[in-house]
Structure 1
Amino acid sequence: MPSLWSPTDWPQRLAELQAATGDVKEVPLRRDVRSLGMLLGEVLREQAGEPVFEAVEELRKVAIARREEDAEGDAAGARSHLQQALFRVHGLDLATSYKLARAFGFYFELINLAETNHRKRRRLASQLQVDAPPQRGSLRGTLRRMKAAGLSAEDAMAMLRRVCVTPVFTAHPTEVARRSVMFKRRRISDLLEQLDRVPQPEATLEGLERDVLAEITALWQTDDVRSARPTVRDEIRMALDYYESSLFDTLPVLYEEVAAAFCAEYGIKETALPQLVSFGSWIGGDRDGNPFVTPEATREALGMAKALLFWHYGQRLQWIFEQLGSSTQQAPVSGELEELLKRYQAEIRLSGQTEINSRFPFESVRLAIVCVMMRIGGVPQAAVLSGVTVGLKPYVNGAEMVADLLIVRTSLVENRGERLARMLIDPLIMEVRTYGLHLQTLDIRQHARVHAVAIQELSAWSAPVAGRPLSVPPGLSPQTQEVLDTFRAIAQLKTEYEAETIRTYVISGATSAEDVLQVVWLGRLGGVRIEAVEGDPGLMPVPLFESIEDLQNAPAICRELWSSETYKPLLESWGMRQEVMLGYSDSNKDGGMIASTWEIYKAHRAVHAVARECGVTLRLFHGRGGTVGRGGGPTHRAIYAQPLDSFSGEMRITEQGEVLNWKYSDVVLAERNLELMIAASLDAVVRPDRIVAKPGTACLTGELKPEWEKVLDTLSETSYAFYRKHIVDDAEVFTYFEQATPVSELEHAQIGSRPARRTDKKAKRSMADLRAIPWVFGWMQSRQLVPAWFGVGHALANFAEQPDGMALLQVMAREFPLFLDMVRNVEMALAKSDFGIARLYASLVEDEGLRDRVFSMLEAEFTLTQKMILGITGQTSVLEKNTVLERSIRLRNPYVDPMSLIQVELIRRKRAGDDSQEMNRAITATINGISAGLRNTG
C-alpha cells in the first residue's frame, strides 16, 4: 500500500514545496495534518481500543457541527450540539475520560509538529525566491529599507554594531512538556522533514511512514503526565537541551545569513560582523517564591552549563583537528604562532622527557589546536598524549581563548589559508565571543520584601570591614540565612567560574531606590564585589518595576538612584551603564491590558529620558510572558513598537519555558526567531520608514503624535478604573476565578518546580498573593482569557462616543505601532476565547447569584470588546486579515472543545468527592491537551 505521503507527480510535489503564494503552498500542511491524523487513529485503535477511537470520532463530529452552526449564527443549533457532547462526556468512566483527553491532546501534539514543519518549509521556500521581496521581519528587508533611506554600508554597519539581543530562558510554572516527550517530538519533526525530500523511492517513503507510526506509538506509551514535580535540575536540563538540539548549530547559520544579507543589499564581497546575540538564564538563579532554588541549585546550573559548553567546544575542536592538517613543509606559520607554541611547550610535561611537538612533526597548527583543547580540559581523540604529567592552565575567560584562536587564524590567513580560517576557525571564534566559558549568564532574582526583612534582622550588625572574617549573628530566620548564603555563594562562584557568568541581580517588586541600595549592602556583606574591576563585571542590581504604580514611579526612583553619591561610583565602574527591567505580567494582572501596555511604554520612554539626563546608558530588560495576558505576542512587532529615541539597540527579553519549544526546537526556527529579534532591533534603532515617510501618508514610523498620546491616556485611565472596579477590587471575582477555572489543579499537575503562590498553602487565599502566571493560566484553560481583553471594550467604546472618536482610533491602528500591536494581540485573544465553553466552567461556581453576576459581566465586556476591535480593524470577523492564524485556530477549536468538556466534568466529579490520584492524572491530561491546542498555558 503506498505511503500517505506518496505523490502522484513529483514535479507537482516540488511546486507545492516551493510555492510562494496561493493555496498551493498550504497543500503540504494539509497533507501532513491529514496523514498524521490517520496514523494517530491507527494507533488509537491498536493501543486504546475501538470504543475509544469511536468516542473520539463522535465527540469530534459533534464539536465540528457545533462550530459550523455557531459560525452560521444558529445559536440554538450550536447549543443543541454542545448538549449532545456534554451528554456523551457525562457518561464516561474515569479511565475512558483519561484516554480521550490524551487522544485529543496527542492530536494537537501532531498538529503543532505539522505547523512547525510548515514554518520551516515556508522559510526555505522564501529563500529560494531570489527576486521575491524579503520575508516580513527579515534582516534583508530592514537593510533594504535602510539603503533606500540613504544609509551607506558604513552607516548601516555602525548601526548594526549597536544591536545585541539577549534571550533569557526561564522556567515556567505551567510548562507541561516532559523531557522524554520533547525528544519524541523532535524525532517526529525530523521524520516530517525527511518526508519533504524530492524525489524519493516509494520504499523510502513507506519506511519513513512506518517510523512516524512507531514514534506516535512510543509517544502514546510514554507518560505525558509527571508522577512528581520536576526539580530545578530537571528544568535546567530541559533548557540546556535547546543548545544541543539547535542553538549550537544555529549560531553559525545565523551569522552567515546576516553577512550574506548585508553583502547582498550593499553590493560588497565580505564583511566582519559584530556580536549580535548573547544568551541568559534565570533557571537555577530565580529565587523569587521558589524555595527549591538554593545555592547548590545555582552551583549546579553553572556547572551543567559549563560542562555542556566545553563538550561542545571539544566537538568543534575535534573536527578542526581532523580537518586542519596543515604542514609547515607545505605552508609556513606565523612568528606569533611559533612564539605561542614555544611558551606552551615549555609548560607541558610528558613522561619519558619527550616534548609535545615531537608528537606532531611539522603540524604546528594542529598542535595549537591541541593546546587550546588542553586549556579547556581535553585533547583530540586522535592525539594520543598518554603520560601528560603537567598540562596547561585553564583559560580564565573567553577572551583568552579568542586570543589563541585569533593567532591561529592570522597565521592561516598570512600563509594562503584564508579559506581554511573562514571555514574552520571563524565560526568557533564567533561562538566563543558569544558563549565565553559560561554559555549563558545566570541572573539571580529575589523579591525586595525578602531583602527588607533581612536588612531589618541585620540592622544591629555593623557592616563588614576589609580583612575581618564575617560572622553570622545568632537567631537569624531561615529566610535571612538563605539571603546571606546566596550572596556568599555568588562571591564563591564568581571565582570558580568565569566572573562574567553572574553579573546581574534582579530585584522583584522594586518600589524605591533603597531597594537597590539594600542589595548593594547585602552583597558586600556576603563578600561580593559589586563594582566592576578588570576581569570582573561586578554584580549589577537590576530593579524590576512590575505594578502599575511602580511603573509610574520608575523614572523618579531611577533619578534618585543615579544621583545618589553612594551609587555613582558603582555606575562609573560599569561605564555609566545600567539595566532596568519592566514587568509585563504583574502590571497586566494589576491594571488590565491597556493600562499595562501604555504604562510600560511611558515608563520605557521616561526612564530613558532620565538616563540621558544623568549620563547613563540604559539597557532595558523586558519581562514578557508567552501569552498575550502576560506581554506575549509577535516579538518583531513588540520590539518595533518601542518609543522613538528610547532604545539603545541592546535589549534582554525573557523567553518563557512554554515558548522555548515553539521558537528554539529546530535550527531553522531558532535562526528565524533570532533574526526577527535582530532585524526588529535594527529597525527600531534606525527607523528607516520614518526617514522616507511622505507627509500625509499612513506609515508605521513609530512617531507618537500629541493627540494620540491624549487618546491613550484617556483609554488607559478609563480601562484601569473599570478593570480595578470589576476585577481587582471585587472579592467575588476572585471567588469566581477559583471555582470557574482549573487554577487549583496546578498543585496536582506536577508541571513546575515553583509554587503557584508566594504564601503558605494554609494561608487565606487572595488575588494579591496569586502569581500572574497561574492567574493567566486559569483564565486561559477555561477559555475566558480575561486578562487579555477585559476593560478594552469599555474604554474603546467610551472614547468612540466622542466626535470622530472611532475615526481617530482607526487612524492610530494604521499608523501607531504600539496601538496596532495591542489591537492585534487583543484580537488574537478574542479568537481563542469561547464563551459557550466558558459558560460550562462558570457552572462550577457554587453560588448561583455570584456565578450569574460575574459571568454576565465578563460576557458583556467580551462582546463589547469584540465589537470595538472589529470596528477599529474594519473586519467582519476576528482574524479576517490574518488568514494563517485564523485557519490554525479554526482547525484546532473543534478538537479543544471536547477536552474542555471533559475537564469541566472531571473537576465537577473531583469537587463532589472523587479526589483520587487517577482523577488528578486525568485532569492533568486535559490541562496538557488544552495547552497544546491553544499553544499557550500561562
Structure 2
Amino acid sequence: MLEPTPTEAIDLVGRFEAGQEIPERMRADVRLLSSLLGRVLRECGSPGLYDDVERLRVATIQAYTDESEAAFERATRIVESFSPARAQEIARAFTCYFHLVNLAEEHQRVRVLRERDGRPDRENATDSVAAAFVHLAAEVGDDTAIARLHALRFHPVFTAHPTEARRRAVSTSIRRLSALLGEHDASLQDGADRRRAQRRMLEEIDTLWRTAPLRPEKPSPTDEVRAVMAVFDETLYTAIPHVYRRVDDALQGPAAGSRTPVVRPFVRIGSWVGGDRDGNPFVTASTTRKAAAIASEHVLLGLSRTASRIGRGMTLDAGTTPPNARLIALWKRLRAEDEDEADAIAKRSPDEPHRRVMLAIANKIAATGRRDADLSYRDPEQLLADLRIVQESLAEAGAARHAYGHLQQLLWQVETFGFHLTELEVRQHSAVHARVLGELERGERSETADEVLEVFRTIGFLQQRYGRRAAGRYIVSFTRSADDLAAVYRLAEHAAAAGSPAPVLDVIPLFETFADLQAAPRILAEIVEHPAFVARLAETGRRLEVMLGYSDSSKDVGPVAANLALYEAQAEIAQWAQREGIELTLFHGRGGALGRGGGPANSAVLAQPPHSVDGRFKLTEQGEVIFARYGEPAIAMRHIDQVAAATLLASSPRIERRNRQAAERFHAVAETMDAASRARFHDLVKAPGFAPWFAQVTPMEELGLLALGSRPARRGLSVESLEDLRAIPWVFAWSQARINLAGWFGLGTALEAVGDEALLREAYRDWPLFRTMVDNVEMSLAKADARIARRYLALGDRDELASMILDELELTLSWVVRVSESSELLDSKPVLQRAVKMRSPYVDALSLLQIRALRTLREDAAAGAPADPDAQQLLLLSVSGVSAGLQNTG
C-alpha cells in the first residue's frame, strides 16, 4: 500500500476524528492540547520527530479504519524503520498525547456533571443518595428509610498495589494543566487572558514532555503513603462533606443549612498503604507507624485551618448572638488551659464569644498536631463535644445558619476523618502467622517473629495515640480455617506479654481462591464458635467483616466461574449471617482492571445477593483507580454519591426480590456456564508449559523492571506456574498485549454451552449479575485487538495455545453482541465507545513499538546474549504509554 499524500493524510485524519462524534467543546480542547503538543515536539524534539510522529499516526489511523492487512503492515514497517533513539522519542510523544486526551475527557466529564446537577429533572434519577432515599422511602416508609440512611456506610480502602504506571511528577504536571484548562474556559471572552492561559499551558506541556515518564527507582512504602495523601489534600477533605451537604440540601429543601441535618456521615476512608505486608518485605512496623503519623499530620493540619477560618469569620456580637451557659463555661476552660493565647484571642475578638471559642478550639487542634500534651485534645470525641457546644449555643441564639453552615461541615469532617484520617488496616499471610507461632512455641525468636510481634505493639500504640478507629482491622490472607484467625489473637497475646498496650483487634478472613470461596461458609461457622472470637463478637454487637478476593479466584478458574463463585459465596455467607444474627460487612477486594473485579461499582452493588449489602459496602481502590475516581473533586463527589446511592438502594425489597428471583430462575444457566467456562479456562492455563509461554508472548517478565510500586511482582524467582505469579501482573501483561484475556476468556464457550439465544437475552434483561458480567466483558473486548494480539502470540512457539485464545476471542465477541442485541461493542455506552475508538489507532502505534522491543529481547534471550538496553527502555516507555491509552493496568 502506498503512503498517502499530505492532502490525503489530512483528509484521512479529518474523517477519522469527525466520525467519533466528540462533543464540540471537548473536540476544541483536544485540538488545542494536541496543537500545543505538536509545537513542543517541533521545538524540543530531535529534527524530524514531529514529521515521524505524524507519519506513524496517519498510518495507524489508516490501518484502523481500512482494517486491511496491507495498511497494518505499512505501519509496522514505519515502526521498524526508526532508530532506537527515535523509537523511544515517539513512544514518549504518543504517551504525552494520551495524558492530554485523558485530561480533555476528564474536563468534559466535569462539565457534564455540573450541567446535569443543574437540571430540574435531576431529582428523578436514582443514582444519587437523595434520590435513592426517596425511592426507598416509597417502599419501606419514611421512618425505616431514615434509619437505613443513618446506618449507611461506604468504605473505600486505598491500597498501594502497583498498578499506577505514571510517575507522580507526571500526575502533578497533568493536575496543573487541568487547572489551566479551567482558566482557559473562563477566559474565552477575553483575548488577552486566553492568550496568557495558552502560553502557560504550552509551558506546562513543555514540562510534561521534558519530564522522564518512568520512575528512576521503585517508590518506598512511605512514598506511596504521601502519594495517597495528595488525594486527601486536594480532593477528599472538602469533597466528602460537600457530598453530605448535597444530600441534605436535596432532602431538606429550603430549610437545609438552618436546622439539624438529616444526613449523617456515611463515608469512611480505609488504607492498606503502609499496612499491607502480605508479600511485601519493605512494609515494617516502623513503616506502619510512619504511615499513621503522616496521615494524622495531614488531617489535623486541615482541621486546624478549617476551624481557624470559621472562627475568623464568626464575628457575631454578643448583643445579637448571646452565648449560652455551656459556651461560657467552655471558654473559661479553654482560657484556663492557655491564658496567654486566650488573652490574645479575646483582644482580637471583643464581645464576640463564639468567635473567641472557635479560635481557641483551632489553637487546641494545632496543639494536638504538635503533640503538645498540655493543650492537646485527648481524642476526636472531645473535639466533637466542644464543637457541638458552639453549635448549640448558636442555634439557641437564633443564628441557625451559622450553627448548621460551615460549622456543620467541620463537624462532618471530624466525624469522618477523626484524628487519623484513614483507618489503617494490616494484612498478613496466614502461613507467616503459623510459622511465627511455631517458632515461639519452640522458644525461638527469628527476625521475622520479632517483626510480627512488633506489628501488634504498633497497632496498640496507634490506638492509644490516634483513637480506636485509627487501626485495628487485621486481615488474614489465604484463610483456610478458624485456627488461621485465632492465630492472630494468640500472637497479640505474645506481643502484649512484654508490657506493651494490648490492641483491640477485629480479625478479618480473606477468602481468595476458588476452593476458599466454596469453603467460606463452613469456616465462618467455625469462627463464631471459636473461643477467641466469642468475646469480641459480644463487644461489637455481633458485627463481623469478611473479605472476598476477586483476583486469585479469577486466575484460578477464569473470570466467568470466579464471578459466579463469588456470587454464590456471598449469598451463602449472607444467609448464614441472617440465621446467626450477625451484622455482616462484605469487603470486596476488587482491582481496577476488569479481570480483577473492576468495572462500574454502582451496578455491581445493585447486582449483589439479598442481605449481602444491607447498607454497607466496602471495597479496595488501587493505583490508577484512586486518581481516576478521587483525583478531581467533581468526579470524586459524583462517584461517592453514585456508589453510596446504590448501597442504600440495594437493600430495598424490590431490588432484593429481583436479584433473588433472577438467581433462582437462571440457576441452571449459571451451572452450565460455570462448568463450561472453567473447563475451557483450564484447557488453556493447565496446558503443559503454559506459564513460560505466557511470559514469552507478553511483557510479563519485563513488568518487574518497572518501578510501579514497592511490592514485588511475583512470589518466586521465575514463573514456572501461575501460582508463582501475582494476580496484578497476570492481568497487566494480558492488557499490554491487547488481549485482555483475564477479563473475558471462557465466556464465549459458556454462552455457547447454554446455546439458547432467546434465553440468554432474557437473562441479560432480567438477571443483574449476568448483565453486569456481560457488560464488563464487553468493555474488556472493546480494548482488545485481534490483529495486535496475533503479533504478540506469534512471539511464542505454541500455535495451539495461540489459536485457542483467538478462537475464544472471536466466539466471545460474537455471543456478547448477540446477547446484548447490539450491532457492535459498546453500542449502549456511546461515551465509552467513542473514547475507545478515538484512542485505538494511537494505542496501536505504541503496541507496534512494544512488539518491536519484545521481539528484540526475545531474540537476544534465544541467542544467550544480554538484553539490549535500548529495547528494554523502549519496552518500558511503551508500557507506560499503553497504560495511559487504555486507562487501566492491573
Q: So what's the TM-score if we normalise by structure 2? A: 0.93
- State the match for 1:539 in structure 2: 505
- State the match for 2:762 in structure 1: 811
**Of residues 428, 443, 460 in structure 1, which corresponds to 2:425?**
443
What's the offset of the Cα at 1:156? 2.7
Structure 1: 4+ residue segments shifted above 6 A = 22-25, 265-270, 353-356, 388-391
SS at match of 2:628: helix
CA contact (8 A) 1:325 1:366 kept: yes
1:875 aligns with 2:826: no
CA contact (8 A) 2:512 2:548 kept: yes
SS at match of 1:809: helix
- State the match for 1:686 in structure 2: 652
- State the match for 2:82 in structure 1: 92
The aligned length equals 865
What's the offset of the Cα at 1:791? 1.0
Change in Cα spacing, 1:332 to 1:141, as seen in structure 2 (3 Å) is closer
Please list the CA deviations of residues 872-897 of structure 1 after superposition, one character each: whole Å capped at 9, or x if unmatched.
Answer: 11122111222111111000000000
**Of residues 879, 896, 900 in structure 1, which corresponds to 2:847?**
900
1:158 aligns with 2:147: yes
Change in Cα spacing, 1:410 to 1:721, as seen in structure 2 (3 Å) is same
Pick which of 284-293 and 910-919 moved more: 910-919
- State the match for 2:570 in structure 1: 604
- State the match for 2:246 in structure 1: 257
Please list the CA deviations of residues 189-234 of structure 1 after superposition, one character each: whole Å capped at 9, or x if unmatched.
Answer: 1122233337621221222111211111111111111111111111
For residues 630-641 of structure 1, what are the structure 2 equivalents within 5 Å? 630-641=596-607
1:865 aligns with 2:812: yes
- State the match for 1:614 in structure 2: 580
CA distance in structure 2 between the partners assigned to 1:154 and 1:717 by the alignment:
45
What's the offset of the Cα at 1:273? 1.1
- State the match for 2:274 in structure 1: 284
What's the offset of the Cα at 1:125? 1.1
Please list the CA deviations of residues 749-772 of structure 1 after superposition, one character each: whole Å capped at 9, or x if unmatched.
Answer: 11111100123x2x6642102100
1:730 aligns with 2:687: yes
- State the match for 2:542 in structure 1: 576
Please list the CA deviations of residues 698-728 of structure 1 after superposition, one character each: whole Å capped at 9, or x if unmatched.
Answer: xx6664342312211221122112212321x
- State the match for 1:469 in structure 2: none
For residues 120-199 of structure 1, what are the structure 2 equivalents within 5 Å? 120-131=110-121, 134=124, 137-146=127-136, 149-197=138-186
CA contact (8 A) 2:460 2:504 kept: no
CA contact (8 A) 1:375 1:392 kept: no
CA distance in structure 2 between the partners assigned to 1:498 and 1:529 by the alignment:
22
Pick which of 905-914 and 401-410 moved more: 905-914
CA distance in structure 1 between the partners assigned to 2:344 and 2:128 by the alignment:
53
- State the match for 1:770 in structure 2: 725
The amino acid that maps onto 1:736 is W
- State the match for 1:408 in structure 2: 390
1:889 aligns with 2:833: no
CA contact (8 A) 1:163 1:649 kept: yes
Change in Cα spacing, 1:566 to 1:752, as seen in structure 2 (3 Å) is closer
For residues 416-455 of structure 1, what are the structure 2 equivalents within 5 Å? 416-455=398-437
What's the offset of the Cα at 1:528? 9.3
For residues 685-834 of structure 1, what are the structure 2 equivalents within 5 Å? 685-688=651-654, 703-727=661-685, 729-759=686-716, 761=717, 765-800=720-755, 805-834=756-785
For residues 845-864 of structure 1, what are the structure 2 equivalents within 5 Å? 845=796, 848=797, 850=798, 852-864=799-811
1:585 aligns with 2:551: yes
Unmatched tracts of structure 2, length 5 or more: 1-18
CA contact (8 A) 1:554 1:607 kept: yes
Change in Cα spacing, 1:379 to 1:435, as seen in structure 2 (3 Å) is closer
CA contact (8 A) 1:444 1:506 kept: yes
CA distance in structure 1 between the partners assigned to 2:174 and 2:781 by the alignment:
29
CA distance in structure 1 between the partners assigned to 2:333 and 2:719 by the alignment:
68
Change in Cα spacing, 1:607 to 1:111, as seen in structure 2 (3 Å) is same
What's the offset of the Cα at 1:46? 1.0
SS at match of 2:151: coil
1:838 aligns with 2:789: yes
Pick which of 702-711 and 288-297 moved more: 702-711
- State the match for 1:459 in structure 2: 441
The amino acid that maps onto 1:773 is I
CA contact (8 A) 1:89 1:901 kept: yes
- State the match for 2:15 in structure 1: none
1:35 aligns with 2:35: no
What's the offset of the Cα at 1:267? 11
Pick which of 574-583 and 917-926 moved more: 917-926
What's the offset of the Cα at 1:488? 2.3
Pick which of 550-559 and 878-887 moved more: 878-887
**Of residues 192, 200, 214 in structure 2, which corresponds to 1:203?**
192
The amino acid that maps onto 2:551 is S
Change in Cα spacing, 1:97 to 1:349, as seen in structure 2 (3 Å) is same
Please list the CA deviations of residues 809-866 of structure 1 after superposition, one character each: whole Å capped at 9, or x if unmatched.
Answer: 1111101111100000011111111121111112222xx3x2x111111000111111
For residues 37-436 of structure 1, what are the structure 2 equivalents within 5 Å? 37-70=34-67, 78-131=68-121, 134=124, 137-146=127-136, 149-197=138-186, 200-263=189-252, 271-350=261-340, 360-378=349-367, 392-436=374-418
The amino acid that maps onto 1:682 is L
What's the offset of the Cα at 1:496? 2.8
SS at match of 1:641: coil
Change in Cα spacing, 1:359 to 1:318, as seen in structure 2 (3 Å) is closer
Change in Cα spacing, 1:626 to 1:24, as seen in structure 2 (3 Å) is closer
The amino acid that maps onto 1:719 is S
What's the offset of the Cα at 1:626? 0.3
The amino acid that maps onto 1:731 is P
What's the offset of the Cα at 1:182? 1.3
Aligned CA RMSD, in angstroms, stands at 2.7
Please list the CA deviations of residues 600-641 of structure 1 after superposition, one character each: whole Å capped at 9, or x if unmatched.
Answer: 111111111111222211111111000100000011101111
Change in Cα spacing, 1:131 to 1:726, as seen in structure 2 (3 Å) is closer
The amino acid that maps onto 2:181 is L
CA contact (8 A) 1:348 1:390 kept: no
CA distance in structure 2 between the partners assigned to 1:758 and 1:905 by the alignment:
29
Pick which of 501-510 and 130-139 moved more: 130-139
CA distance in structure 2 between the partners assigned to 1:429 and 1:644 by the alignment:
34
The amino acid that maps onto 1:495 is Q
What's the offset of the Cα at 1:402? 0.6
CA distance in structure 1 between the partners assigned to 2:359 and 2:598 by the alignment:
46
**Of residues 587, 599, 609 in structure 2, which corresponds to 1:643?**
609
Is the helix fraction higher in 1 or 2? Answer: 2
What's the offset of the Cα at 1:793? 0.7
CA contact (8 A) 1:584 1:625 kept: yes
CA contact (8 A) 1:288 1:446 kept: yes
Unmatched tracts of structure 1, length 5 or more: 1-21, 71-77, 381-387, 461-472, 692-699
The amino acid that maps onto 2:733 is G
CA contact (8 A) 1:577 1:617 kept: yes
Change in Cα spacing, 1:323 to 1:444, as seen in structure 2 (3 Å) is same
The amino acid that maps onto 2:55 is E
CA distance in structure 2 between the partners assigned to 1:24 and 1:529 by the alignment:
68
CA distance in structure 2 between the partners assigned to 1:424 and 1:529 by the alignment:
47
CA distance in structure 2 between the partners assigned to 1:37 and 1:528 by the alignment:
64
Pick which of 209-218 and 388-397 moved more: 388-397
What's the offset of the Cα at 1:565? 3.4
What's the offset of the Cα at 1:688? 4.8
The amino acid that maps onto 1:925 is L
SS at match of 1:161: helix
CA contact (8 A) 1:595 1:720 kept: yes
- State the match for 1:73 in structure 2: none
What's the offset of the Cα at 1:344? 2.8
CA contact (8 A) 2:714 2:726 kept: yes
Change in Cα spacing, 1:377 to 1:264, as seen in structure 2 (3 Å) is closer
CA contact (8 A) 1:162 1:648 kept: no
